[in-house]
Amino acid sequence: MNNKEILLCGAFLKKIRQEKGWTLEKVSEETKILLSSLKDLENDEYKDLPPPVYLRGMIKKYANFLKVDDKKVLELYQESNGRSLTSGEHDLFPKNRFSVYQSKFISFFKNVCPKILKYLFLGLILFYFIYEASFFILPAKIVLYSPDSDFTTYEQELIISGKVIRAKRFFIKKQETSFGENGVFNEKIILSPGLNNIQFEAVNILGYSTVLIRQIIYTISEELDSS
């Protein structure tokens, strides 16, 4: 029977650390390894430590910090513990401060949401450029609220209202007319007896015109005629 004492991995690391005069708190601060994990490692208590595939990295980091050969420390771990340092089919993600359990829904959301936001952002940029380009490509448009069609009236005053779209300048009966930021205009004109051809013209930023004509017949009432 071989009575040769086997030096435990944790005990070896603890011995080197104490020889260098470092506290566990100092090691934890420098290596960013949890203090509780360092304590378990030095005490060779592995039940609460990460699975072997992640524990390997922890041991290597600790060994490199102590400036000892990490390969020899890993071999010592294998000899003293007999626990494989390769991943197994039942290994789980390590429980440490750098990992948080995520449900499949949260994981899916975190993976998909950035892509959705990315495409949404690109879509908004594309829409903005198309919208701006429309002012150059598409002609101006005139929308008349009143009068909305040709008609006959006995009233000499005519209220004109409407909206222009993609227009830089706007004219009513060849007289330039102002409009609001949203393109809305309101004007009052005096009709002449008989047929009135009222021309509306909107000019876009490239100077192309859109023309709309309303034919309004102003008829003087019979009462006025008899007088």
pLDDT at 220: 86
* CATH code, domain with 206: 2.60.40.10
Determine the distance from the C-alpha atom of residue 47 to the mean position of all C-alpha atoms in its chain, rounded to a whole number.
Answer: 42
CA distance 200 to 131: 24
The verdict on 147 and 159 lying in the same domain is: yes
For the chain, how far is it from start to end, CA to CA, in angstroms? 141
Report the domain count for the chain.
3
CA distance 151 to 217: 6
Q: Assess if residue 202 is contained within a domain.
A: yes
Q: Assess if residue 40 is contained within a domain.
A: yes
The verdict on 61 and 116 lying in the same domain is: no
Q: Assess if residue 96 is contained within a domain.
A: no
Tokens coding 9: 């991995």
> Could you tell me the pTM of the whole model?
0.43
Distances (CA, A) of 123 to 57, 80, 111, 113: 44, 60, 19, 15
Q: Assess if residue 93 is contained within a domain.
A: no
Which residues have a Cβ under 8 Å from the Cβ of 44 and sit 6 or more positions away? Answer: 8, 9, 10, 11, 80, 81
Spatial contact of 19 and 69, defined as CB atoms under 8 Å apart: no
The verdict on 212 and 190 lying in the same domain is: yes
The verdict on 146 and 200 lying in the same domain is: yes
Distances (CA, A) of 83 to 44, 80, 219: 12, 9, 106
The verdict on 72 and 111 lying in the same domain is: no
Q: Assess if residue 163 is contained within a domain.
A: yes
Q: pLDDT of the chain along its 227 residues, tens only? A: 344 456 788 889 999 999 989 999 999 999 999 999 899 888 888 888 888 888 888 989 999 999 999 888 888 888 766 555 554 454 444 444 444 445 666 766 677 778 888 888 888 888 777 776 666 678 899 999 999 999 999 999 999 999 999 999 999 999 999 999 899 999 999 999 999 999 999 999 888 999 999 999 999 875 444 44
The verdict on 152 and 130 lying in the same domain is: no
CA distance 135 to 40: 70
CA distance 226 to 221: 9
The verdict on 74 and 150 lying in the same domain is: no
The verdict on 123 and 190 lying in the same domain is: no
The verdict on 215 and 146 lying in the same domain is: yes
The verdict on 111 and 156 lying in the same domain is: no
DSSP one-letter string for 151-192: EEES-SEEEEEEEEES-SEEEETTEE----TTSEEEEEEEPP
pLDDT at 198: 96
Written as one letter, the residue type at 77 is: Y
Q: Assess if residue 122 is contained within a domain.
A: yes
